[in-house]
Structure 1
Amino acid sequence: MKPEPPPRLWPGEIYDTLKSVGVRQVAFVPDAGHTQLISSCHADPDMKAVSLTTEEEGIAMLSGAWLGGDRGVLLMQSSGVGNCINMLSIVTHCRIPLLMLVTMRGEWGEFNPWQLHMGQSTPKVLEAAGVFVQRADAADEVAQVTYAAAQLAFSSNTPVAVLLSQRLLGFKDWSK
């Protein structure tokens, strides 16, 4: 039996950062890269974590949260970014802050060819839609990048995406 890998520390650092900036609502499409963070948010009685059927629902949910006085975050995988393009116009034109944490696919060590094109296009697609894009490639920078992105989103009323690189998430070897 293969031993369980030790838990990664950076999802806990993201959780702590989200708490420190006052995030109370978490919208997510289930994703292995966000598992630890989602579990922490579900366990927190001061956070409302909502599983979505598709990513653009999260933009609507978090827009409503903002209008109701709550801060939120949208957790998704890069393959879901394309689902959000039309909805991003709402937050851009209405100047509603949107913080997105995007686990990347289609990069280092990708095993699924269907993930390649959207993974490689994600930063360009987000930028073309008016989203400020920041990236974390190493565990020791995740909390700082997330904090800076949250400050930008919530102080400027603008959409900001933090791309969590596939190298950060780890290599999946399906050849064995």
Structure 2
Amino acid sequence: MDDHWSVAAHRHFKAAGVRQVAYVPDGGLTRLIERCREDNAIETVMCATEEEGVGLAAGAWLGGQKAAVLMQSSGVGNTVNAIASLVTSAQFPFFAIVTMRGQWGEGNPWQVPMGQAVAPVLEAIGVKVFHADTAEDVGAMVEAGLRMAYSSDQAVAVLVSQRVIGSKVWVADNKEGAQ
């Protein structure tokens, strides 16, 4: 039996009636993306940028469906204007899972600034932020976040800690080995 946190997240998507999932490919989200892609009741859309996912989520809501947006922390900066203007001003419900970089064990110095800015930036534009610091936290955070987003017309992001997804090794001397 698979006890990866993605199992609980997918289960809560189903229970909440999420019908669309927008994502930008990310190693930390691979298993959740695969689960959603294999689920015939969920339409998955791979986006070129994270802000496209914000538009998809708003469009889904206008069309009578619930959506979730999946992204890595480095892409959150791409969503700020779309969330602040479209989601917050128009009071659309919005739900995202963000896998974090720039935290525990980060070896890539390029990931640290945005990783440290994600929560304060999202909070500054009105997004409620839930921190999932262990794999066991993810399911409860996703369930509560979906409920809050879709019952209260709120913008909610569950930040999945780098401690949950694992850190990557950055090899500064070997650019081919850098991740």
**Interval of TM-score (by shorter of Structure 1 and Structure 2):** over 0.9
Overall identity of the aligned pairs, in %:
49
Measure how far apart 1:93 and its partner are. 1.0
Q: Which amino acid aligns with 2:156?
A: V
Q: Of residues 16, 21, 26 in structure 1, which corresponds to 2:16?
A: 21
Q: Of residues 136, 143, 154 in structure 2, which corresponds to 1:158?
A: 154
Measure how far apart 1:52 and its partner are. 0.2
Kept after mapping to 1: 8 A contact 2:107/2:167: no
Alignment of 1:18-57 (within 5 A): 18-57=13-52
Q: Which residue of 2 aligns with 1:3?
A: none
What is the RMSD of the two structures over their aligned residues, measured on CA atoms? 1.6
- Quick one: distance in 2 between partners of 1:125 and 1:173? 26
Q: Which residue of 1 aligns with 2:127?
A: 131
- Quick one: distance in 1 between partners of 2:42 and 2:165? 24
* 1:124-176 deviation line (CA, Å, top 9, x unaligned): 00001111101101111110111001111001111100000000111334569
- Quick one: distance in 2 between partners of 1:104 and 1:150? 19
- Quick one: distance in 2 between partners of 1:171 and 1:55? 22
Kept after mapping to 1: 8 A contact 2:108/2:170: no
Confirm or deny that 1:114 pairs with 2:110: yes
Per the alignment, in what secondary structure is the counterpart of residue 155 of structure 1? helix
Q: Which residue of 2 aligns with 1:93?
A: 89
- Quick one: distance in 2 between partners of 1:72 and 1:160? 12
Q: TM-score, normalised by structure 1?
A: 0.93
Measure how far apart 1:8 and its partner are. 5.5
- Quick one: distance in 2 between partners of 1:174 and 1:13? 30
* 1:98-146 deviation line (CA, Å, top 9, x unaligned): 0000000000111111100000010000001111101101111110111
Question: Which aligned runs of 4 or more in structure 1 are off by greater than 3 angstroms?
Answer: 173-176
Q: TM-score, normalised by structure 2?
A: 0.92
Q: Which amino acid aligns with 2:161?
A: S
Q: Of residues 167, 170, 174 in structure 1, which corresponds to 2:163?
A: 167
In structure 2, relative to structure 1, the CA distance for the partners of 1:7 and 1:174 (3 Å cut) is: farther
How many residues are treated as equivalent by the alignment? 171
